[in-house]
Structures are given as C-alpha cells and as structure tokens.
Chains A and B, each alone.
Chain A
Amino acid sequence: MYKKILLAADGSDNSFRAAEETLHFINEDTQVTILNVINPADSKEDVLHSGASESIVSKRKAKLSKITGLYASNNIPYQVHFENGVPNETVVKFANKGEHQAVFLGTRGLNGLQEMVMGSVSHKVAKRAEIPVMIVK
C-alpha cells in the first residue's frame, strides 16, 4: 500500500473515476493529497459567471465535494490543495517535490482536434513526472 499519494482532480467525472481507482491502492493509513489547479485561462469565465470572490472559492470546493465525500466515507485521510498555474506544469512540479509515491489523474476525454489545440494534461504529466503515474480512463 502507498503511504502518500497525489490525486490531480479538476472535479470532472473523469477525475472522480480516478479517485475511485485510487481506492484499490490505498487504505486508512494512506495520506491522499487532492490537488486542484486553478488555471489563469479559466479566470475570465470564473469572474464573469460568478460574482463575489468568496463564492468563487466555495464553488471550487463544491466541485471537489464528490471526491472528498468518497474518501471521507472510506475513512481515508485526505487534504485538499489549491494551486494557481498552468495545469500540466503545476501537477508535474507538485509531483516532483518528492513528497508523494504516486500520482493519479483522469483523462479529460478530448478528441484528436481538441487535444491538438488544448493539449493533454495527462500526456504531459506521464512524460515529465518522476514518480509512477496512473492515468484513469
């Protein structure tokens, strides 16, 4: 069993599936860090579609509530961590700090053209992370 793992989660269904997958590799003694990256490119939409800054923060937390609920109900200790930055670089940097034994993440399920334009986070992380990477489809 892993002692400390990193779960990169954007709150999507794919990231929830990744969270479910981690349960096969961990138990009550495993410390899970849920990393949510706040992409500057999303800030415009964030600001335009939700008023006060407090409501933006609570919205971010709400997005991850399904995942935190999953760990809570399985008695897995977890902590939620928010970072500002470009998603793939930020996840890689965090994973390579040496604190975690493995990193889990979901794919965004993009098609070929979208991937060409937006870039695949999981692909970049798989290439650059120095710890084992589990990509959940």
Chain B
Amino acid sequence: MIEKFKREWLSNPGTNIMAGIVVALALIPEAIAFSIIAGVDPMVGLYASFLIAVIISFAGGRPAMISGATGAIALLVVPLVSEYGVEYLLTATILMGVIQILLGVLKVGKLMKFIPNSVMIGFVNALAIMIFMSQIEHIFGISFDTYIYVIITLLILYILPRFLKKIPAPLIALVVLTSAYLMTGSDLRTVGDLGSIDRSLPSFLIPDVPFNWETLQIILPYSISMAIVGLVESLLTARIVDNATDTYSSKNRESRGQGIANFITGFFGGMGGCAMIGQSVINVKSGATTRLSTFTAGIFLMFLIIVLGNWVVQIPMPILAGIMVMVSIGTFDWGSFRYLQKAPRTDAFVMLITVIIVLFTSNLAIGVIAGVLFSAIFFATKISKVDIHFESLKNVNILRFEGQIFFASIDTMIAQIEFKKYDKPVQLDFSQSHLWDDSAVDAIDTIVRKFEEKGNTVYVSRLNADSRKIVKELSQLNEQHLTQ
C-alpha cells in the first residue's frame, strides 16, 4: 500500500512536476476554447480543468493521465447551454458523474472491449472534424487581421517546437500574439467579447435549477451522452497511456474516478470533462509517470489564472482558433486513409458510418452506440453462415455442417437442405460446428423431423461436448438418433 503510494506519487518528483507545469500551460488555451465552444464563460472550463485534474490525480486509475474540460463534452452540451443556460449544464455534469460512478461500480471498463477499433477510429475522426468545424465561425468572414493571426499562430505551433522544446508552443503563440494585439490593436475579436473572467477560486454552490421531474427530463439525455462519451474517451486515453508507458492501469477505477471528478466539479461551477489524449501524450513525452504530474497540472493552471486572469480576456480569438485547428489535426487518425483501403469492407463501413452519424446528430454518444450496433450486426452476419457439405458413401449419406449454429444462422442453414426420400440413411455430422442456443437445438429437431416425414432414417452424430450437453437438455430427439 505504502509502496504503491510512493511509486504512484513520489518517484521522480522533479520530472513529474515539470511535466505537470508544461501541461498546465498547454491546458489554458484549450480550456478557454472549449468553454467558448460550449457557449459558457471561460471560467466554467478553467474551473473544470483545475478541479477534474486535481480530483482525478487521487481518484483516477491511470497515473500520468491528464483529464480536464474537453472538446468531446463541450460539443455535446451546446444545445443544452443555448436553450437552458449554464445552470442546467452544471446539473447535467453532476448527474453525469453519478452515472459514471454507477457504471464504474458495475465494472463497465470491461465493456470497452466490445467497442471495436473501427468505432474508436470513427470516434476520434468525428471529434476532430467537429472541433475543426466549431472554429470556422472564429476564422472566416471576420476580418483580414483574423486570417493573419490564425496563420501566424499555426506557423508558431508547427515550427517553433523544433527549436524550443521546453515551453509549449501554444503558450508562446498566446503570449507573443496577445502582446502584438495589445500593441497594434488589430481588428480582432477577443475572449472578452464572448465571456468574462473571474479571478477567484471555485466555490461550492448548488446549481440554481428547479429540482423537479421536468428538469430531470431535460438533463438526463445529456447526462447519459456525456457519461458515455467521457468514459469512451477516458478509457481510450488510458489505453494509449498504458501503451506509451508499457504499464497497466485499472479501467474500473478510472471510470469511478471520472465520475467522482465530474460529480464534484458540477457543484463548483465547472463543466463536465474527461481524459484528454493530446495532453496526456504531452505529459508522458515530458517524462511524467506519476499522479503528481496530473496534480501539478491542475494546481498550476489555477495559480496562473489567479495571477494572469486580467490578461485572459484580452486573448484574441484567432489564436485560440489556430490552437484548436492544431488540436483537431492532432486528434484525427491519419492512419484512417490506409485503414479504409486495407481493413475489411465492413470495418471500413462501420468507421465511416460512425463519423457520418456523429456529424448528422452532433452527438458522439449516438455515433458510438450506432457503430457498436452496426459492427455487432456485421459480426453476427459474418459468423451466421453455416455451410453444409453433402457426401454419399456406400451405405450412408452424410450431411456435414460447418459453422456456428445459433438463432441467427438457422434459417439460411435449413434453407440449404433438400428434404426428400434418400436411398440410404442420413447422417448429420456436426464435427465442424457448434450449437449455441435453444434455437439451434430446435433447428436440429426440425431437420430430423422433416427427414423422417419423407421416410428417412436419420442419425445425429459427432456433436462436440458443449453441443451434446444442450442437445441432451433441450432436444426432443431420443437416444437412437444420437450416435457418436
């Protein structure tokens, strides 16, 4: 226990604190930009990133992973905020936390393996496209200066890291270009035009909504979507950090931790969030291995806001838009184009349909669920093909069944059989197949009965052990039908 605490908190503290500071600097522009996407004051996202990072550093399952306000959640809640306001968002965040805690207790981490790669790739691609599209209004058709600032931001973001590794490029873009704006007074929109900054620590408050059935009806669909999307992205990120550090982490503890973090954050004026792929990779790249890095990221973020709060409202929007363009490029899975050509047709289709459904519904949760359903259907179709081989031997006709026999496969299976009077007894050979359910047993009974109706003698042979067991339990066949 103490060993574990030391390993997860105290090993290599210097490197981890430095990594946390780097992440805090990179988090600020994102937290502000995600708040603006959601349509709330920047403080709602900044508080969220501070609180979620600090709470998850204790409650989460994956050391060195970074959580905070994210684009995935922000994009989900846009209609809720615009129709009902920020108080409903906070309430939805609290309920989101409750749902995630429940899912964590129910060990939903295990369910993640039912989300195939095709859906995951669709998820990140849809997220990337939506983040990009959310920035169009901040880039195009505002002013000539806006274009210039976006271009310079992108140049700084992509070229500077080659020469200057220690300080995150987004922060440099922010400082340099905000200074340039303050000196030149270019024709730009700023964060202050879209919201206000409050230089204070978050405080406990119960969201100002009527606690009744109607409120629940409004927020519940959002909370469910937020909970699902939050867990999908968090558990995907956890696997990425597992991979990058060659260590394993508890996915159930992470699910509960995400729930606890969101539950508390909602009461302190923060919007819901989850783990962040990009920030977690930055953290690990900087050498982070422990929970101390995540903790430091949260604390240092809040410290910076208290100190620099007045500055934040002066930040020109095109800088944040440029940073979001980089985030969306980093989020997109560029291996997808190769995937579309190489992966099985059905997987490629599931990936595309996931993206398309998300873009149509503006809801990542619906896309994930639809993607999982589609791939389940494809999987069932793929394995529900039973081949039947007919072989006529000297004193018996053999029908050999090859494949998985279950409710989805029996109809096409039976349709392949020609029921007529044969000159020799009919032997059904199940050595290459598996009977899975009562429908399968029922189908075997039907086949035997139909052959007998035509006046044949029928044997059921070579069932494997499991299949034999359910046939014994469920079948109406008698012993003389069954041979070895």
Contacts and interface: CB of A to CB of B under 8 A. Distances in A.
Interface string B224-258: 00000000000010011111111010000000000
A38 B244 contact: yes
Interface residues of A, number: 21
B166 interface: no
Interface string B313-342: 000000000000000000001110001000
Interface in A49-69: 49-51, 53, 56
Contact of B117 (A49, A86, A116, A119): A49
Interface stretch (B87-95, B277-285, B371-379): B277-285
Contacts of B121: 48-49
Contacts of B236: 47
Interface string B211-235: 0000000000000000000000000
B120 interface: yes
| Chain B interface mostly | helix
B2 interface: no
A47 B240 CA distance: 6
A40 B158 contact: no
A85 B162 CA distance: 17
- Of B239, B244, B281, B285, most buried by chain A (CB within 10 Å of CB) is B244
B1 interface: no
- Of B242, B246, B339, most buried by chain A (CB within 10 Å of CB) is B246
B159 A44 contact: no
A95 B470 CA distance: 62
B243 A56 contact: yes
B285 A48 contact: no
A114 B426 CA distance: 68
B312 interface: no
Given A48-B117, A48-B121, A86-B285, A43 B243 contact: yes
- Of A40, A82, A85, most buried by chain B (CB within 10 Å of CB) is A40
10 contacts: A40-B244, A41-B281, A44-B277, A45-B333, A45-B334, A48-B335, A49-B339, A53-B242, A84-B244, A117-B162
